[in-house]
Amino acid sequence: MENNLSRHDLFVNWEAMTPGKYKQKAKGLVIEYGFHPTPLGECFIALTDRGLCQLSFVDGVQHKETLDNFRELWRNAELKINQARTKKYVGQIFGPKPNKAGLPINLFCRGTAFQIKVWEALLKIPAGRVVSYKTIARMIGRPKAARAVGGAVGRNPIAYLIPCHRVIRELGAIGGYRWGIDRKRAILAREAVGYHG
């Protein structure tokens, strides 16, 4: 499943892979990773030749624990640290001048068919806007699946670029966030003042 979506100044090319396809195609996959500071806290970022497959915030978490959890998800892959390569991506995503050249950031996600639908819906939420879990459920044609949507949102592997921070509870409460409620508020505040990079 592939899509090209504009996230304001950042263009995202999106390719998703179900667990069945992962078993067929991911054997021998090389993933390069790094840990870097960002304006929103330390991040872990991982890249394949097909695109970015993980972006998460890890401040306060041991690097070894982060790597062990990531390795469990990508068992067939070979992991290599490459701080130089991953730093370029972090600069493109979080730098003071968002990418204006139209160069895409390729995302390569692995999830169930339902999770992939939810993440694709998240990519359609404009910066500066928030929607409810119920709205996402309607967007994917599963209006009674708001709770399941919440589970899929919580398993989003690519923080910030797949904007799970833009989902709130039905009554307007900010709700939880995998990488901390204070960070969710900070991201929403940045977007509210027009910073979309």
User: By CB neighbour count within 10 A (0-12 exposed, 13-18 middle, 19+ buried), where does 128 fall?
Assistant: middle
Given 43, 53, 109, 164, the catalytic residue: 164
C-alpha–C-alpha distance, residues 117 and 109, integer Å: 11
Active site residue 109: no
Beta strands at 104-110 and 10-17: parallel, antiparallel or unpaired? parallel
C-alpha–C-alpha distance, residues 103 and 12, integer Å: 9
Do residues 8 and 98 touch, judged by C-beta distance below 8 A? Answer: yes
- Counted residue by residue, the chain has a size of 197
DSSP letter (8 states) at residue 126: P
Q: Just list the catalytic residues.
A: 164
